[in-house]
């Protein structure tokens, strides 16, 4: 068959007005996207394959025995690191506990020092108010009084003492509204029937058997001077 006779038959479908044999545009776009994705996947695979080949080339000249020895050394190094970590953790735990105990001891020492300083300041106030300085069996009149009223004082940062109530607030004089001074607070115990015996010169001459005269308010009080410190302590706080 000649070329002239073939041409009309090949061109006939193009001149047809129907679209039954044409691929929809949406499917064509999806096919193009799929082809692009496949190409990218293939390129990525080729890059990874190339990297693997280059990595294999690096180890072509490695002696298998040397490689095995290197692996063994690496494993041993990891074991040493693990042992070191365990030892380090044990040391840290030990010294952390010791540091905690030392901190507690230091805190207790600071509290003891603060209490000692407050007691020393209070003792000076007691003696300034005429407190008796004698003692027996390691116990003084100040010790007996301080054990009972020591909580009524708070030492400030400057070393001074403040008379406080059970809530820690300064005690105020009802008449003046001012804070009661430690000297006045201590001196107020001179008229106490028991605590008054802890001060010098607070009692008058004898006023009968068993009586030591009167206190600053003229109230008769018992003469306890013949009692030792232990008996005084029992009498005062029983």
The residue written with tokens 């001459």 in the block is 205
CA 224 to mean position of chain CA atoms: 52
Residue 125 lies in a domain: yes
First to last CA, the chain: 144
Angle at 145 between CA 139 and CA 146, to 5 degrees: 90
Residue 129 lies in a domain: yes
> Above 90 in pLDDT, residue 1?
no
pLDDT-derived band at 127 (thresholds 50, 70, 90) equals: very high
Residue 60 lies in a domain: no
CB contact at 8 A, 190 and 132: no
Q: Which residues contact 91 (CB under 8 A, 6 or more apart)?
A: none
Lowest mean pLDDT among 29-43, 99-113, 220-234: 220-234
The residue written with tokens 């990297």 in the block is 51
Transcribe 29-95 into DSSP letters: HHHHHHHHHHHHHHHHHHHHHHHHHHHHHHTTT--HHHHHHHHHHHHHHHHHHHHHHHHHHHHHHHH
User: How many folded domains does the chain comprise?
Assistant: 1
pLDDT-derived band at 52 (thresholds 50, 70, 90) equals: confident
pLDDT-derived band at 6 (thresholds 50, 70, 90) equals: very low
Give CA–CA dist 202/225, Å, rounded.
12
Residue 203 lies in a domain: yes
- Percent of the chain whose predicted confidence (pLDDT) is above 90: 22
Residue 135 lies in a domain: yes
In the prediction, which pLDDT does 77 show? 75
CB atoms closer than 10 angstroms to residue 221 = 21
In the prediction, which pLDDT does 18 show? 47
Between 221 and 172, where is the model more confident? Answer: 172
Q: Compute the 3-state secondary structure of the chain and give helix, strand, coil in percent, each to the nearest 5.
A: 60, 10, 30
In the prediction, which pLDDT does 207 show? 34
Lowest mean pLDDT among 109-113, 134-138, 154-158, 210-214: 210-214
pLDDT in tens, 131-189: 999 888 888 999 999 998 999 999 999 989 999 998 989 999 888 889 999 999 999 99
In the prediction, which pLDDT does 92 show? 79
pLDDT-derived band at 210 (thresholds 50, 70, 90) equals: very low
Q: Has this prediction a pTM greater than 0.75?
A: no
In the prediction, which pLDDT does 201 show? 76
Residue 162 lies in a domain: yes
In the prediction, which pLDDT does 68 show? 76
In the prediction, which pLDDT does 156 show? 93
For residue 211, the surrounding DSSP H or E stretch is strand 211-214
pLDDT in tens, 7-26: 444 444 444 444 545 667 77
Residue 133 lies in a domain: yes
Residue 2 lies in a domain: no
Q: Which domain holds residue 215?
A: 119-237
3-class SS of residue 138: coil
């Amino acid at each position: 068959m000649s070329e002239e006779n073939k041409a009309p038959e090949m061109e006939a479908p193009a001149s047809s007005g129907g679209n039954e044999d044409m691929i929809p545009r949406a499917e064509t776009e999806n096919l193009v996207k799929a082809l692009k994705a496949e190409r990218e996947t293939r390129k990525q695979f080729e890059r990874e394959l190339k990297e693997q080949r280059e990595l294999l080339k690096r180890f072509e000249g490695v002696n298998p025995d040397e490689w095995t020895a290197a692996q063994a050394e690496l494993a041993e190094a990891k074991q040493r690191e693990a042992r070191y970590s365990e030892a380090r953790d044990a040391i840290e735990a030990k010294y952390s506990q010791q540091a905690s105990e030392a901190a507690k001891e230091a805190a207790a020492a600071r509290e003891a020092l603060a209490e000692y300083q407050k007691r020393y300041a209070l003792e000076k106030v007691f003696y300034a108010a005429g407190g008796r300085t004698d003692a027996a069996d390691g116990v003084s009149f100040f010790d007996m009084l301080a054990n009972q009223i020591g909580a009524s004082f708070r030492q400030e940062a400057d070393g001074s003492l403040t008379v406080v109530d059970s809530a820690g607030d300064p005690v105020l004089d009802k008449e003046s509204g001012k804070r009661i001074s430690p000297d006045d607070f201590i001196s107020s115990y001179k008229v106490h029937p028991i605590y008054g015996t802890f001060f010098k010169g607070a009692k008058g001459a004898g006023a009968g058997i068993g009586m030591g005269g009167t206190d600053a308010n003229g109230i008769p009080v018992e003469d306890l001077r013949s009692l030792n410190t232990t008996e005084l302590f029992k009498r005062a706080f029983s």
